[in-house]
Homo-oligomer: A and B are copies of this chain.
Amino acid sequence: MTTIRDVARLAGVSISTVSLALNSPKRVGVETLDRIQQAIKSTGYRIDPVAQTLARGRSSLIGFVSANLGNMFFGDIRREIEHQALGHGYFVLIADSSGRADLERALLERLEAQKIAGIALAANGHGEEYATFLRDFKTPIVMFDQKVEGAERDFVGSDNPLTTTILTEHLLQLGHRRIGFISGPSGLHTADERLKGFMNTMAGAGVDIDPSLVVEGGYTRTGGHAQAMRLLTRRDRPTAIIGANNMTGLAALQVMQEMGFRCPDDVSLAMVDDVPWSNVITPRITMVVQDAQKLGELAAQRLLARIASPEAAAAPPEDFILTPRFVRGESTKRL
């Protein structure tokens, strides 16, 4: 392995000059610069990022932490962030918290120890204490999808109340009144907001909500399955179900199929977020989708900006809220 010293010797300059040439070429005489570049070329010198990180106290790695990489939504965001980061010379270190707040915290601390330049985080922890933890983190963090109140960080996400408001209004318009709602984990930002969107819209339309039709599916496949089962085995089952995310929505569809209900003839279904092969799923599901790519793009830009300049790093946190899009499928039907 050739080091900066080898290059310096070959070019007949000091190592600090080589370092200068590497980092701010304009501060080095043209002729010297040329000799150094020759030396670099001929030795095949590659800078050692580990040594650089140690010396600088900051690496050129960006962390991406989310709950579930398998979920298309996060996958799309990841891809976009990766794309932007690579364009700026950053490498993306991906970590999957599996939705566990304790693991997530451990991962964040580990990333920090790696002197990571910045972190894009879809938080799964919540509460006062977690907010403090995030607020006091020294590494720049841009949060996406999940907002943690009090964390005082940039946030990029969707108008979550609107997602379920749209779906609820749609179902109300079709004449549905008994609407089952499979919520996400309470305490989680998007889950709470989506639930709120549903409740407020129902209330706003003057429709009574049967509290037993509002269940918590934890955003997971298994949770969604269990809760959908509870909803659909009742005598007075709902005429429509809203899944607060793609996992629970599809789990509900699965339960319908397993129980022999036809969708939408027997029960209507709508959900938040898309899945990769939704167009080969019968029926095509009515959903509200978020612009994951735009979301990733904004998050990446914000993070990279904060990393790049101290002024940007000091700027007060901002929220970027995207408007979700309604996609009518064939899983919802007039009552």
Question: Which listed segment binds B: A11-19, A139-147, A271-279, A299-307?
Answer: A271-279
Task: Give the number of times this chain occurs in the complex, counting copies.
Answer: 2
Q: How far is the CA of A38 from the CA of B149 in the complex (A)?
A: 37
A49–B114 touching, CB < 8 Å: yes
Q: Is A30 an interface residue (CB 8 A)?
A: no
Q: Is A250 an interface residue (CB 8 A)?
A: yes
Within the complex, what minimum Cβ distance (angstroms) separates A255 from chain B?
10
Q: Is A94 an interface residue (CB 8 A)?
A: yes
Q: Is A46 an interface residue (CB 8 A)?
A: yes
A254: contacting residue among B72, B75, B254, B280, CB under 8 A: B280
Contacts of A53 in B (CB 8 A): 50
1/0 contact trace for A64-84 toward B, CB 8 Å?
Answer: 000001101001001100100
B280–A250 touching, CB < 8 Å: yes
Contacts of A115 in B (CB 8 A): 50
1/0 contact trace for A230-259 toward B, CB 8 Å?
Answer: 000000000000000000001001100100
Instruction: Name the residue among A54, A70, A96 with the largest chain B CB count within 10 angstroms.
Output: A70
Q: How far is the CA of A257 from the CA of B70 in the complex (A)?
A: 26
Q: How far is the CA of A297 from the CA of B225 in the complex (A)?
A: 28
A91: contacting residue among B70, B72, B110, CB under 8 A: B110
Q: Is A315 an interface residue (CB 8 A)?
A: no
A276: contacting residue among B59, B275, B282, CB under 8 A: B275
Please, how many residues of chain A have a CB less than 8 angstroms from a CB on the other chain?
Answer: 36
Q: Is A51 an interface residue (CB 8 A)?
A: yes
Q: Is A93 an interface residue (CB 8 A)?
A: yes
A50: contacting residue among B59, B276, B280, CB under 8 A: B59
Within the complex, what minimum Cβ distance (angstroms) separates A311 from chain B?
24
Q: Is A210 an interface residue (CB 8 A)?
A: no
Within the complex, what minimum Cβ distance (angstroms) separates A154 from chain B?
24
Q: How far is the CA of A114 from the CA of B46 in the complex (A)?
A: 12
Q: How far is the CA of A57 from the CA of B51 in the complex (A)?
A: 10
Instruction: Name the residue among A49, A276, A279 with the largest chain B CB count within 10 angstroms.
Output: A276
Q: How far is the CA of A161 from the CA of B276 in the complex (A)?
A: 28
Q: Is A113 an interface residue (CB 8 A)?
A: yes
Contacts of A79 in B (CB 8 A): 70, 96
1/0 contact trace for A43-57 toward B, CB 8 Å?
Answer: 000101111011000
Contacts of A92 in B (CB 8 A): 95
A82: contacting residue among B50, B96, B253, B257, CB under 8 A: B96
Q: How far is the CA of A276 from the CA of B110 in the complex (A)?
A: 30
Q: Is A281 an interface residue (CB 8 A)?
A: yes
User: Which residue on B lies nearest to A275, using beta carbons?
Assistant: B277
Besides the known contacts A254-B279, A254-B280, 12 further A-B residue pairs in the complex with CB atoms under 8 A apart: A48-B54, A50-B114, A50-B115, A51-B54, A70-B276, A78-B96, A79-B96, A91-B95, A94-B94, A250-B277, A257-B280, A275-B277
The 5 listed contacts between A and B (C-beta, < 8 Å) are: A46-B113, A48-B54, A69-B78, A70-B276, A250-B277
